[in-house]
Structure 1
């Protein structure tokens, strides 16, 4: 009985792990399991599991031993700057496809500027999961 009372009153600190970089990770690196390790410490803002980071891309350089934070990572880019991409404009039943040149790098769900190759007009579009740039009404 007295043991239960002591344990109930004893302050317990929760021990959690934080994800840190196992090696220097340059910007635009797709994270693999071996790139990360867990530190037995609570680091404010750091991820607590490696599963959340594997397959993501670094948005900035992360140095070995430094914590990996949510803002340091994002989905891998599908479109590279200056790459030729397909543009698709939809309005009602009308569908127009054209070729463009990406003016920025981006991942699925991000908005980038693209220059239409034929008209030399710059448009803004949303990158689809297949790399197609959607201009106008969204799919």
Structure 2
């Protein structure tokens, strides 16, 4: 009777399902672009990891990625097109007003990333979003 109750109880427990997640085949250094030969699939239980290799290939490692460990969503991003200390075009647009000036990037960033920029005229530090053409759009 006790054995039957134990088996019934165990059958009610959720099973840990393992899905294949993307892991580095070798150590990938920060700021390196990930290629198909750098990654592989491994059965691991992790909800915050990539499951499709196509989502990872072509992205840039934000931190060092170690072989065999899952690649998490925050570990990679679009390749940087703006480098630290690079002079970039700043644009601000609001209610018909458009301002263009130059700024110095205070950090690296890829398309869509929010980066800190120093306005070269006023020396003010601003935040803006990196655009596909390498400029930075500043918003209020």
Q: 1:22 aligns with which of 20, 25, 30?
A: 25
Contact 2:19 2:45 in 1 (8 A): no
Q: Deviations over 1:46-78 (max 9, x none)?
A: 322211111111111111222222221112222
CA drift at 1:84: 0.6
Whole-Å separation in 1 of the counterparts to 2:55 and 2:27:
19
What residue is the counterpart of 1:42 in the other structure? Answer: 44
4+ residue runs of structure 1 moved beyond 4 angstroms?
Answer: none
Please give the TM-score of this superposition, normalised by the length of structure 2: 0.77
* RMSD value, Cα: 2.2
Write out aligned runs for 1:71-90 (5 A).
71-90=74-93
Q: 1:107 aligns with which of 106, 110, 120?
A: 110
Contact 2:18 2:45 in 1 (8 A): no
Consecutive unaligned residues of structure 2, counting only runs of 5 or more, are 1-15
Corresponding residue pairs, total: 125
What residue is the counterpart of 1:129 in the other structure? Answer: 132
Please give the TM-score of this superposition, normalised by the length of structure 1: 0.77
After TM superposition, the structure 1 stretch with the greater mean CA deviation from structure 2, 97-106 or 127-136, is: 127-136
